[in-house]
């Protein structure tokens, strides 16, 4: 069994992950707005709890995920912490 769940979208291999984001107080809505504009983001919502925002992202591979989390998300003003959860199984979500 492979360590991560991949599927094909046309000729593109896709890896799904959820990214939980903790932001500084007062930055929730501006960060959410910026995140929703990004190509790799399938869904972004404000949530209650330890983290403030949850994203569902689709990327080609783990390297692209690294670049996206470290090079884009963590560089945004107000982002304090992230936790990435790579999807490991299940079927492709046809609603995405």
The residue ranges of every structural domain in the chain are 15-86
Across-strand partners of 16?
Answer: 58
Q: Would you give the end-to-end CA distance of the chain in angstroms?
A: 24
Q: What is the pLDDT of residues 39-85, one digit of tens each?
A: 999 999 999 999 999 999 999 999 999 999 999 999 999 999 999 99
Q: Give 73's DSSP letter.
A: G
Report, at the CATH architecture level, how domain 15-86 is classified: 2-Layer Sandwich (3.30)
Going by C-alpha positions, the residue among 8, 28, 44 that lies closest to residue 79 is: 28
Tell me how far apart the 2 most distant CA atoms of the chain are, in Å. Answer: 43
pLDDT in tens, 73-93: 999 999 999 999 999 865 555
Contact by Cβ (8 Å): 58, 96: yes
């Amino acid at each position: 069994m492979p360590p991560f769940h991949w599927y094909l979208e046309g000729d593109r291999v896709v890896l799904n992950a959820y990214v939980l984001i903790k932001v500084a107080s007062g930055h929730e809505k501006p960060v959410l707005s910026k995140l929703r504009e990004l190509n790799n983001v399938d869904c972004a919502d404000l949530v209650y709890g330890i983290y403030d925002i949850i994203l569902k992202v689709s990327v080609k591979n783990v390297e692209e995920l690294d670049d996206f989390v470290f090079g884009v998300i963590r560089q945004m003003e107000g982002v304090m912490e992230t936790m990435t959860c790579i999807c490991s199984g299940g079927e492709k979500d046809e609603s995405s």
